[in-house]
Amino acid sequence: MARANRHHIPGQVWHITHRCHKKEFLLKFARDRRRWLCWLFEAKKRFGLRILNYVVTSNHIHMLVVDSGPNVIAKSLQLIAGRTAQEFNQRKQRKGAYWEDRYHATAVEQSDHLVRCLVYIDLNMVRAGVVSHPSEWEMGGYNEIQNPPERYGLIDMPYLRELCGISDSEHFTEQYRQWIQEAIDNDRNQRESCWTESIAVGSVGFVEEIKARLGIKGVGRKVERQEASRFVLREESEAYSADFGPENSSLSANNSYFLDVLLENSID
Give tens-digit pLDDT for 216-233: 777 788 899 998 899 999
Which domains are assigned to the chain?
Answer: 13-247 (3.30.70.1290)
Which pLDDT score is estimated for 259? Answer: 44
Helix axis angle for 169-185 and 112-122, nearest 10°, is 70
The per-residue pLDDT for 234 is 85
pLDDT of residue 218: 76
Give me the chain's average pLDDT, please. 85
Task: Tell me the average pLDDT across 243-254.
Answer: 38
What does pTM read for this prediction? 0.85
How would you list the strands of the sheet with 13-19, edge to edge? 50-56, 60-66, 13-19, 104-108, 198-202, 231-234, 223-225
- The strand pairing partners of 251, in sequence order, are none
Confidence band of 7 (pLDDT split at 50, 70, 90) = low
CA distance to 29, 94, 121, 154, 240, per residue, from 52 (Å): 24, 33, 11, 8, 25
Average pLDDT over residues 60-77: 94
| Secondary structure (DSSP) of 24-54 | --TT-SHHHHHHHHHHHHHHHHHH--EEEEE
Q: In this predicted structure, what is the pLDDT of residue 236?
A: 59
Indicate the pLDDT class of residue 109, thresholds 50, 70 and 90. very high
Number of H helices, E strands in the chain: 9, 7
Tell me the mean pLDDT in the region 34-59: 97
Q: At 245, is the pLDDT very low, low, confident or very high (cuts 50, 70, 90)?
A: very low
